[in-house]
Structure 1
Amino acid sequence: MSKVVLVDEETGEYWFYCPGCECNHRFWAGNKSSCVPNWDFNGDADKPTISPSHRVIGGNEHGRTVCHSFIKDGQIQYLNDCTHQLTGQTVRMEDFNI
């Protein structure tokens, strides 16, 4: 099973599951448009590495949320500015189920 899934070939949009946020996150790789950021992606769906870091800022009924991580060799290294329970931890990526 893949850890990341290409959902839009034209825009280079990929999704992965974030166990810290308990939802999917997305990134773009190979997109020639300047409308979205682009990450470097090693192309390995089972042991993905993307750079630079991946940061998602959102909010819920409890206030502002932050998920900030490095993804290297199929592992998510959560940075200390995350607002969820996995801050400061490194975990294996889960298989992505559509």
Structure 2
Amino acid sequence: MHQVWTDRWRWNGDGDAPTFSPSVLVTYDGADVGQGGAPQARCHSFVENGRIRFLPDCTHELAGETVPLPTLLGGT
């Protein structure tokens, strides 16, 4: 899960089906960085109409997939 500060992106103002633009790019240390160093991990996505479209350059198992945004803070 990543935080997005919307002052850096455009947001459609829809809390139920948000769209942010441009893309969201998050880089972080790889999962096994403590065991000799892993390459930098990458999550690159678009949030469109309440769905996350993970781009193929992601380094995780959701690369190339589109999934619904998770429900947060006790929502239904």
Q: Which TM-score tier does this pair reach, normalised by the shorter chain?
A: 0.7 to 0.9
Where in structure 1 do 4 or more consecutive aligned residues deviate above 6 Å? none
Report SS of the residue matched to 2:2: strand
Identity across the alignment (%): 41
Q: CA RMSD in A?
A: 1.5
Unaligned runs of 5+ in 2: none
More strand by share: 1
- Structure 2 residue identity aligned to 1:87: A
Select the residue among 32, 36, 54 that pairs with 1:61. Answer: 32
The equivalent of 2:61 in structure 1 is: 85
Higher relative contact order (CA 8 A, sep 6+): 1
* TM-score, length basis structure 1: 0.64
Could you tell me the TM-score, scaled by structure 2's length? Answer: 0.80
- Does 2:52 match 1:52? no
> 1:29 and 1:94 mapped to 2: Cα distance?
18
Match of 1:8 in 2: none
Q: How does 1:1-98 map to 2 (within 5 A)?
A: 24-30=1-7, 38-59=8-29, 60-62=31-33, 63=38, 64-97=40-73
Larger C-alpha radius of gyration, 1 or 2?
2
Shift of 1:29: 2.0
2: distance between equivalents of 1:73 and 1:39?
A: 15
